[in-house]
Amino acid sequence: MHPVLIFRHSATEGPGYFASFLDRHAIPWQLVRVDAGDPVPEHLNSVSGLCLMGGPMSVNDDLPWIPRELELIRQAVAAGTPVIGHCLGGQLMAKALGGSVGANPVKEIGWGELMVTDPDAARPWLGDVDAPLPGFHWHGETFTLPEGARRILKSAWCENQAYVLDDRHIGMQCHVEMTPELVASWCENGAAEIAASTSPAVQQPAAMLADVDTRTDQLHTLADKIYSRWIQGLSR
C-alpha cells in the first residue's frame, strides 16, 4: 500500500493521534516537515492520501510552500485521493477549493462542544449523533465552505467546524488529533497568546489540562469514527 503523506507545518503540531491510528491499522505514512524545510512535492506520485496538520501561520501569509500545498490539494481532490485537514489543514483545503479564510469573530482555544449541523451528511463519518461531541480548539481564523462541501459540525464560537466533500474528503477547524502530551505542549508554548487574549472562548492552561487523559480518550472516540471513514477511500 502506498503511504499517506502527512504535512507538518509547525514542530509542535505533529500528527499526534492520527499517526497512532494509522499505525494501529498498518497503514504506512510519510511525514513532510514543512517547518524543517522539507519540499512540498509537485505531484501526487505514489501516495494513497493527504493529511494536513495545523500551524500558527495564516493560509493568507506570503509563504512559498502554501501555493504548492494548495495545488497538491487540488490535484488530490481531482484524482479522488482522500484529503483530511486539521485546523490550518482544513483552511488550506477550503482555500485550495475556492473558499476563503479570514478572522473568526473570536479566538477559540481549549475544550468545547461540537454540534452536528447536517445529520445526513454527518452520518457516514459520525454515525447517528443525538448529543454534543467533544472538541479541542486553537484558532483565530476560520474558513468558508468550498463549493459542493457540506457542513457537518459547528461550535458555539465558530459556525464552520467541519465539512465533507465527495464522501471522501474532510476539512476540520477543530483538532481531533490531540494527545495529553500535545495539549500540555501547546499550553506551554502558547502561554503568552493565552495571557494576551480577552476572548470569552479562550481557556486557561489549568482548565485545558484538568482531567486531560479522560478528555483525550473521549476525543479519540470521535477521531476513530472520522479516521475510520476516511481510510475507506485510500487506495490499497
Task: Report the interhelical angle of 65-79 vs 88-96 (nearest 10°).
Answer: 70
Report the first-to-last Cα separation within the chain, whole angstroms: 5
Distances (CA, A) of 75 to 7, 49, 156, 233: 15, 11, 34, 16
d(CA 184, CA 33): 21
Catalytic residue set: 87, 175, 177
Q: Which residue has the cell 479570514?
A: 102
CB 171 within 8 A of CB 94: yes
CB atoms within 10 A of CB 24: 10
